[in-house]
Amino acid sequence: MKLEETKTPKILRYFTLSLFFSIPFILFFTLQTTPTPSRTRTVTDSSIPVSYPNIKGIRIRPGYPTYASYLQRQLNKTQNPKLRQIWTTRDWDRKINVFVNFFNDLRDVGLINNASSALCIGARVGQEVEALRRVGVTDSIGIDLVPYPPLVIKGDFHNQPFEDERFDFEFSNVFDHALYPEMFVKEIERTLKPGGVCVLHVAVSRRSDKYSANDLDGVDPVVRLFSGSDLVRVRKVDGFGLDTEVVFRKKGGRIGS
């Protein structure tokens, strides 16, 4: 009886020691055989079916089975050779002169200055960027699906290719082309510095062009999307088919603070 009692603890000790030393091997083989999780796909991945957002006061136009189909629709306009020729010749100086007047007004009321770093969203061939540089805002760049060096680099406004808090000023007249307006706005607020200014030209009283992805019922839906910013002003403009200017300042400071 005593012999059996002495053997049992020894067996338990051997078992415990063997289990202890085998744990690293078990973990090693487990890690080797565990599949690596795939990268989480974003809503702008081209293969994901489009999920139409429900935003009060903003009607998203249907007809895009995937994000790739939406991008191709936008590229149909941006890459149109006839339109690009018009933008870079007949319309070049005319649009620049109009934008110069817009930006001079913003500078007169202290919403932009020569030290500002500026981004033009959906700039196509960069008339807005050229206008900013002519009024003295030399640190200016544009983004569009098709680059136009040196004024415009390639970029998707649903996923801007810039770090957080990069710009003092952002301008866009392509809000109506956003398939995901909330992402469009979040990217602006992400890349604006605290106190930075965003100016949008939008169509409220009229229907925007056939390449647009959304239609606005008014200014209020846009104001609600800019939850991290304060509304500075709203006024009527004549901006190449767009009739309303909406200006926001990101919360947290002022330019130059």
Question: What are the residue boundaries of the structural domains of the chain, listed by start?
Answer: 58-250
What value does the mean pLDDT take over residues 64-87? 93
Instruction: Give the length of the chain.
Output: 257
Give residue 18's pLDDT band: very low, low, confident or very high (50, 70, 90). low
pTM of this prediction exceeds 0.85: no
What radius of gyration, in Å, describes the C-alpha atoms of the chain? 28
**Cα(208)–Cα(135) distance, integer angstroms:** 28
What is the per-residue pLDDT across 201-231, written as a single tens digit (0 to 9) for each?
Answer: 999 967 778 889 999 999 999 999 999 999 9
Which CATH fold topology does 58-250 show?
A: Rossmann fold (3.40.50)
pLDDT given for residue 196 in this prediction: 98
Distance between the two ends of the chain, CA-based, in angstroms?
87
Strand partners, 234: 246
Question: What is the average per-residue pLDDT within 70-99?
Answer: 94
Residue 6's pLDDT is 46
